[in-house]
Amino acid sequence: MSDPNLLSVLRIAELVGGQVQGDASLTVSGIAPLDEATDRDLTFAADERFAARLAQSRARAALVGPAVQAPGKTLILVADVPAAVAAVLALWDKGHDLPPAGAHPSAVIDPSAKLGPDVAVGPGVVIGRDVTVGAASVLCAGVKLAAGVSLGSACCLAEGVVVRARCVIGDRVRIGPNSVIGHDGFGYFQSGGTHRRVPHIGHVVIEDDVEIGSCCCVDRAKFSATRIGAGTKLDNLVQVAHNVRIGRNCIIAAHVGIGGSVRIGDNVFLMGHAAVRDNITIGSNVQVAALSGIVSDIPDGAAVGGIPARPGRETLRIWQAQARLPDLIRRVRDLEARLASLEQPKDNL
């Protein structure tokens, strides 16, 4: 029996629009990094910095940028190596054991719900009243869609995702396992010495092509909507508080926490463990370094880091100065000791 994963270099080159140098009939059955690839894998090297490692790799074929040379290897030359790698990965993507189209017998679907063609509903899924689900969307085991939820076409909600009442999700949205969309925000007021909950009557809007990782929380708005713009990607364990507005094509890495009513522009990068205080505005095209604390507004195009976050170059100077502090402290103590000895009264001879 032939290996269904086996692909020729020529077939891959046709897929990615690449040019073959070497044996186009060579076959591979997977893709792997330079140091892990076997002689049955395709590997990749974006530029000449990786040429030495490519020469030592066990892989016989590689996706490479135009400037890369590797004698003895079969090369597929492409203009954009990351894009080509993504296209090849899709060839071997088996869908992570997604449920087939149709409804599993254990699913609970309210009669008022409207499901488009080719929707897949996995085991234990609960779909509430007046829910709409677009064509070819996939609901994995244990997903719960509360009353009035609107889910677009070609979406994929992984195991255990909860979408609470009236939330709106666009097309081609992917949400990882155990994420919660539309739970109440963290809003309280003090009365009589106790914390009392503020009702949250808004909802969440997630626009087209958004991807949300595992165990994320996107809180419902107190009023109006918490919104995530089209094309934005959230890593695992991200917290988005009530009434936050995130723009288009943002990247938000793991463990980022965004306080209530924050406004974030388009094309913003928030790296891991960054924290954003409530009611802050972050402009478009901003880059925030990992482990940063945002406590004031940031203008368009800025690159910031540190706690509290400052312009990137200023933060680097502070970090460099901090590294010199132990030596500076020793020098100050030595100078203090020398000064004290000079100030001691001299005995008259």
Residue 267: how many other CB atoms lie within 10 Å = 17
Out of 104, 203, 242, 255, which one is annotated catalytic? 242
Answer positive or negative: Cα dihedral of 281, 283, 284, 289: negative
User: Phi and psi (nearest 5°) for 52?
Assistant: -65, -40
Which three-class secondary structure string do you get for 182-251?
CCCCCCEEEECCEEEECCCCCEEEECCCCEECCCCEECCCCCCEEEECCCCEECCCCEECCCCEECCCCE
The answer to whether the CB of 61 falls within 8 A of the CB of 74 is yes
Would you call 51 exposed, middle or buried from its count of C-beta atoms within 10 A (0-12, 13-18, 19+)? middle
- Kindly state the tokens that stand for 189: 């007021």
Residue 239: how many other CB atoms lie within 10 Å = 19
The answer to whether the CB of 252 falls within 8 A of the CB of 236 is no
242 catalytic, yes or no?
A: yes
Helix (H) or strand (E) holding 8, with range, is strand 7-8
How far apart are the C-alpha atoms of 87 and 295, rounded to whole Å?
40
Catalytically active residues, by annotation? 242
